């Protein structure tokens, strides 16, 4: 692997990234901007064509940034896995969804690993970045690669380095977010660390790939469990006649021993709603029940139902039934100021309201009707706000003028405390 280390040092290493989504594309651009020759591989022809044309499909990557590395020749995209026979390193950034039974689906990892195995050659580094359960790198990826007869740590290196991309975060990007990395052998850790240090300010080595896999699951389980706790506190406060946001803000003044989390209509995104299930599934195979994870999931999964209950109660107070009422949902992305719909709880709120017989439409400045089939997207206008019997804020986009929205709306159910600074018309606003 000394030849690989030298290639990384002198900038001649050929880097490949498999999966050019919100994780893989920033990584590929990062290596390209550092001067390496980078080949991105994706099975989606539309992504490949767009990248080759310098058009970004990832919100956090501007097309101008992509065009610079494409036009300079440092980055190209392809659907052809044959290029793996030529590259020095491969970073795997493919999806790891859950099945309907909430079991891990690592079929994309297995498929890509088989493609790599056919072209694995001495001096190559393989790094898995896709979130998965502890043991995947050692138990699934390694045996397939080792079946070539090449020896890990000597002929090739294998490591796990969990992605930490936070969509919409303009402060912490790839380069300044510390990168966890664990190799299958100490040599693997050293080699992978050397590569990633070229584009990331702080690489944090851990003792093994299993430890690195567990780090990622701890990070997101921590958030899921704490969000589940604060969502339950919101339910408690509703029954006690208290404002949960006031309670959290007051508790957050404590300078030690308290970290504020905030309630909402449920969990969204690819990581937090899904990753704890990877850990729970793995522990189930070891005859251990992850009770905190199960309880948090139960609370978080049922939050959209609570939102609909709040809407029904608010309408009932003005002698209206949720059935037949006109509902305008504001914001359907899972997170403010993004166009990311993955696992968005707002979609559940839309479906539940529709199932209750409401006439539902939505507005989101980042999302079109084509992105949410079956639901009508509308303009945000005085006419639409007057039309709605109730406006439900499910995503707190900063582009919304909440003073104007409150002034025009009849009733508001604000699941994100987005209207907290509005002074006029507060009698119309109802929170979780």
The gap from C-alpha 72 to its chain's centroid, in whole angstroms, comes to: 30
Spell out the per-residue pLDDT of the chain, length 432, in tens: 889 999 999 999 999 999 999 999 999 999 999 999 999 999 999 999 999 999 999 999 999 999 999 999 999 999 999 999 999 999 999 999 988 778 899 999 999 999 999 999 999 999 999 999 999 999 999 999 999 999 999 999 999 999 999 988 999 999 999 999 999 999 999 999 999 999 999 999 999 999 999 999 999 999 999 999 999 999 999 999 999 999 999 999 999 999 999 999 999 988 888 999 999 999 999 999 999 999 999 999 999 999 999 999 999 999 999 999 999 999 999 999 999 999 999 999 999 999 999 999 999 999 998 899 999 999 999 999 999 999 999 999 999 999 999 999 999 999 999 999 999 999 999 999
Q: Note whether 308 and 387 are within 8 A (CB).
A: no
Domains of the chain (ranges, CATH numbers): 2-207 (3.40.50.720), 224-301 (3.40.50.720)
Round to whole Å and give the CA distance between 146 and 188.
14
134 φ/ψ angles, rounded to the nearest 5 degrees: -60, 125
| Structure confidence at residue 94 (pLDDT) | 97
The pLDDT score that the predictor gives to residue 14 is 98
Give me the catalytic one of 157, 188, 237, 271: 271
Residue 361: active-site member: no
Query: Across-strand partners of 39?
Result: 16, 76
């Amino acid at each position: 692997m000394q030849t690989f280390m030298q290639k990384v040092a002198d900038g001649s290493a050929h880097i490949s990234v498999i999966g050019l989504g919100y994780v893989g594309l920033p990584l590929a651009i990062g290596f390209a901007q550092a001067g390496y020759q980078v080949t991105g591989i994706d099975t989606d022809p539309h992504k490949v064509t767009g990248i080759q044309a310098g058009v970004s499909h990832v919100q956090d990557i501007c097309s101008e940034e992509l065009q610079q590395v494409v036009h300079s020749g440092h980055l190209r995209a392809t659907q052809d896995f044959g290029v793996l026979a030529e590259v020095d390193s491969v970073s795997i950034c493919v999806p790891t969804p859950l099945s309907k039974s909430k079991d891990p689906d690592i079929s994309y990892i297995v498929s890509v690993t088989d493609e790599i195995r056919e072209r694995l050659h001495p001096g190559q580094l393989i790094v898995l970045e896709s979130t998965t359960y502890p043991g995947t790198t050692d138990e699934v990826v390694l045996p397939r690669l080792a079946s070539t007869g090449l020896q890990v740590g000597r002929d090739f290196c294998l490591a796990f380095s969990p992605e930490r991309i936070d969509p919409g975060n303009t402060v912490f990007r790839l380069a300044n977010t510390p990168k966890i990395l664990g190799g299958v052998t100490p040599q693997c850790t050293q080699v992978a660390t050397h590569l990633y240090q070229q584009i990331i300010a702080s690489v944090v080595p851990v003792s093994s790939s299993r430890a690195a896999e567990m780090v990622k699951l701890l990070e997101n389980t921590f958030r899921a469990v704490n969000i589940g706790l604060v969502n339950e506190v919101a339910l408690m406060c509703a029954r006690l006649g208290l404002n949960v946001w006031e309670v959290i803000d007051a508790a957050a003044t404590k300078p030690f021993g308290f970290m504020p989390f905030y309630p909402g209509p449920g969990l969204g995104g690819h990581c937090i709603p899904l990753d704890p299930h990877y850990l729970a599934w793995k522990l189930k195979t070891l005859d251990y029940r992850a009770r905190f994870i199960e309880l948090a999931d139960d609370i978080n999964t049922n939050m959209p139902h609570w939102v609909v209950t709040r809407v029904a109660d608010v309408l009932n107070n003005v002698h209206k039934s949720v059935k037949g009422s006109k509902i305008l949902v504001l914001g359907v992305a899972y997170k403010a100021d993004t166009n990311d719909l993955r696992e968005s709880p707002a979609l559940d709120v839309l479906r539940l309201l529709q199932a209750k017989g409401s006439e539902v439409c939505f507005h989101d400045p980042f999302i079109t009707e084509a992105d949410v089939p079956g639901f009508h997207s509308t303009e945000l206008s005085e006419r639409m706000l007057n039309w709605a019997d109730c406006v439900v804020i499910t995503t707190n986009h900063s582009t919304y003028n909440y003073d104007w929205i409150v002034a025009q709306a009849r009733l508001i159910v604000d699941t994100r405390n987005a209207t907290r600074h509005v002074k006029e018309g507060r009698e119309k606003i109802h929170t979780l």
